[in-house]
Structure 1
Amino acid sequence: MVMQVLDAIDGFLYYPVLLIVMAAAGLYFTIRMGFVQVRMLPEGLRVMKAKPTEGNGTSPFQALMISTASCVGTGNIIGVSTAICLGGAGAAFWMTIMALIGCASSFTECTLAQVYKKKAADGTSYGGPAYYIEDALKSKGFATIFVVFLLLTYSCGFNLLCSYNTQSTFQTYAFYVANPKLAAGIIGAVLALLVGICVMGGGKRIEKTAAFIVPFMGVAYVVVTVVVLLMHAGRIPAVFGRIFTDAFNFRAIFGGIAGSCLVYGIKRGLYSNEAGVGSAPNAAAAAVVSHPAKQGLVQMLSVYIDTIILCNATALMCLVSGVEPTAELAGAQWVQTSLQAVLGNFGPLFITVAMLLFSFTTLIGNLYYCDNALAYLNHKTMPSQGFLKGFRIYGVIVIFVGALLPMAAAWDIADIMMGGMCLLNLVACVLLSRVAIGTYHDYVAQRKAGKEPVFHAKDIGLNPDELDYWKD
Structure 2
Amino acid sequence: MSDFLSDVNGYIWSNALVFLCLAAGVFFSIRTRLVQVRMFVEMIRLMFKGERSPSGVSSFQALSISLAGRVGTGNIAGVATAIAFGGPGALFWMWVVAFLGASTSYVECTLGQIYKGHDPITGEYRGGPAYYFSRAFAHTKAAPFFRVYGLIFAAVTVLACGLLLPSVQSNSMAVALNNAWGLSEWVVAVASVIVLAFVIIGGVKRIANFASIVVPFMAIVYIGLALIIVVTNASAVPEVFRVVFSSAFGIDSAFGAIIGTAIMWGVKRGIYSNEAGQGTGPHAAAAAEVSHPTKQGLVQAFAVYIDTLFVCSATGFLILSTGAYRVFEGESSSGAILADGGALPADVEVGPTFVQTGFDTLWSGAGSSFVAISLLFFCLTTIIAYYYMAETNLRFLMGKSATLYIKPLRSTLGSNITMLLQTLILVSVVIGAVSTATDAWTLGDIGVGLMAWLNIVGIIILQQPAFAALRDYERQKKQGIDPIFDPIALGIPNATFWELRDPKTGKEREPVGSV
TM-score (norm 1): 0.89
More deviation, 327-336/273-282: 327-336
The answer to whether the aligner puts 1:467 opposite 2:474 as a matched pair is no
Which residue of 2 is the match for residue 167 of structure 1?
174
**Residues of 2 paired with 1:225 and 1:232: CA distance?**
11
Seq. identity, %: 34
The answer to whether the aligner puts 1:195 opposite 2:196 as a matched pair is yes
More deviation, 74-83/319-328: 319-328
**Residues of 2 paired with 1:234 and 1:341: CA distance?**
15
More deviation, 83-92/243-252: 243-252
**Residues of 2 paired with 1:209 and 1:293: CA distance?**
25
The answer to whether the aligner puts 1:445 opposite 2:475 as a matched pair is yes
What is the correspondence of 1:176-187 to structure 2 with a 5 Å cutoff? 183-187=184-188
Which residue of 2 is the match for residue 336 of structure 1?
356
Note the C-alpha offset of 1:78.
Answer: 1.0
Per the alignment, in what secondary structure is the counterpart of residue 172 of structure 1?
helix
Which residue of 1 is the match for residue 129 of structure 2?
129
The answer to whether the aligner puts 1:418 opposite 2:448 as a matched pair is yes
What is the correspondence of 1:54-93 to structure 2 with a 5 Å cutoff? 57-93=56-92
Which residue of 1 is the match for residue 366 of structure 2?
346
The answer to whether the aligner puts 1:390 opposite 2:410 as a matched pair is no
1:240-275 per-residue CA deviation (whole Å, 9 max, x = no partner) reads 1111111111697996567x1211111111111111
The one-letter code of the counterpart of 1:468 is: F
The one-letter code of the counterpart of 2:474 is: V
Note the C-alpha offset of 1:13.
Answer: 2.0
Per the alignment, in what secondary structure is the counterpart of residue 483 of structure 2?
coil
**Residues of 2 paired with 1:398 and 1:208: CA distance?**
24
The answer to whether the aligner puts 1:32 opposite 2:31 as a matched pair is yes
The one-letter code of the counterpart of 1:63 is: A
Note the C-alpha offset of 1:6.
Answer: 2.1
Which residue of 2 is the match for residue 179 of structure 1?
none
The answer to whether the aligner puts 1:158 opposite 2:188 as a matched pair is no
The answer to whether the aligner puts 1:369 opposite 2:389 as a matched pair is yes
The answer to whether the 8 A contact 2:55-2:125 is kept is: no
The one-letter code of the counterpart of 1:267 is: K
Note the C-alpha offset of 1:370.
Answer: 2.0
**Residues of 2 paired with 1:461 and 1:213: CA distance?**
41
Note the C-alpha offset of 1:423.
Answer: 1.2
Which residue of 1 is the match for residue 321 of structure 2?
320
The answer to whether the aligner puts 1:3 opposite 2:2 as a matched pair is yes
Which residue of 2 is the match for residue 180 of structure 1?
none
More deviation, 90-99/337-346: 337-346
The answer to whether the 8 A contact 2:67-2:215 is kept is: no
Note the C-alpha offset of 1:44.
Answer: 1.6
Per the alignment, in what secondary structure is the counterpart of residue 3 of structure 2?
helix
Aligned residues: 462
The answer to whether the 8 A contact 1:207-1:361 is kept is: no
Note the C-alpha offset of 1:194.
Answer: 4.3
The alpha-carbon distance between structure 1 residues 292 and 200, as it changes in their structure 2 partners (threshold 3 A), is closer
The answer to whether the 8 A contact 2:170-2:432 is kept is: yes
Per the alignment, in what secondary structure is the counterpart of residue 498 of structure 2?
coil
Per the alignment, in what secondary structure is the counterpart of residue 359 of structure 1?
helix
**Residues of 2 paired with 1:287 and 1:232: CA distance?**
41
The answer to whether the 8 A contact 2:60-2:212 is kept is: no
More deviation, 164-173/278-287: 164-173
**Residues of 2 paired with 1:314 and 1:329: CA distance?**
17
Note the C-alpha offset of 1:187.
Answer: 3.2
**Residues of 1 paired with 2:109 and 2:219: CA distance?**
25
The alpha-carbon distance between structure 1 residues 235 and 285, as it changes in their structure 2 partners (threshold 3 A), is same
**Residues of 2 paired with 1:36 and 1:343: CA distance?**
41
Which residue of 2 is the match for residue 147 of structure 1?
154
The answer to whether the 8 A contact 1:321-1:342 is kept is: no
The answer to whether the 8 A contact 1:130-1:147 is kept is: yes
The answer to whether the 8 A contact 1:86-1:330 is kept is: no
The one-letter code of the counterpart of 2:129 is: P
Per the alignment, in what secondary structure is the counterpart of residue 101 of structure 1?
helix
The answer to whether the 8 A contact 2:113-2:285 is kept is: yes
More deviation, 30-39/48-57: 48-57
The alpha-carbon distance between structure 1 residues 76 and 324, as it changes in their structure 2 partners (threshold 3 A), is closer
1:61-80 per-residue CA deviation (whole Å, 9 max, x = no partner) reads 22212211221122111111
The answer to whether the 8 A contact 2:292-2:483 is kept is: yes
The one-letter code of the counterpart of 1:82 is: T
**Residues of 2 paired with 1:290 and 1:388: CA distance?**
31
* Structure 2 gap segments, 5+ residues each: 138-142, 328-332, 334-347, 407-412, 504-515
Note the C-alpha offset of 1:460.
Answer: 2.6
Note the C-alpha offset of 1:49.
Answer: 2.8
1:355-376 per-residue CA deviation (whole Å, 9 max, x = no partner) reads 1222223333323432222111
The answer to whether the 8 A contact 2:250-2:257 is kept is: no
Note the C-alpha offset of 1:115.
Answer: 1.3
* Structure 1 gap segments, 5+ residues each: 177-182
Q: Which of 438, 449, 452 pairs up with 1:408?
A: 438
> Would you tell me which structure has more helix in proportion to its own residues?
1
The one-letter code of the counterpart of 1:17 is: A
The answer to whether the 8 A contact 2:162-2:390 is kept is: yes
More deviation, 165-174/404-413: 165-174
The answer to whether the aligner puts 1:399 opposite 2:419 as a matched pair is no
The alpha-carbon distance between structure 1 residues 370 and 55, as it changes in their structure 2 partners (threshold 3 A), is closer
**Residues of 1 paired with 2:496 and 2:371: CA distance?**
47
Note the C-alpha offset of 1:404.
Answer: 2.4
1:165-187 per-residue CA deviation (whole Å, 9 max, x = no partner) reads 111114535847xxxxxx33443
More deviation, 350-359/387-396: 387-396
TM-score (norm 2): 0.82
Note the C-alpha offset of 1:31.
Answer: 0.6
**Residues of 1 paired with 2:199 and 2:473: CA distance?**
42
Which residue of 2 is the match for residue 41 of structure 1?
40
The answer to whether the 8 A contact 2:56-2:289 is kept is: yes
**Residues of 2 paired with 1:443 and 1:196: CA distance?**
40
What is the correspondence of 1:139-288 to structure 2 with a 5 Å cutoff? 139-172=146-179, 175=182, 183-196=184-197, 199=200, 212-249=213-250, 260-288=261-289
Note the C-alpha offset of 1:15.
Answer: 2.5
**Residues of 2 paired with 1:141 and 1:94: CA distance?**
34
The answer to whether the 8 A contact 1:193-1:396 is kept is: no
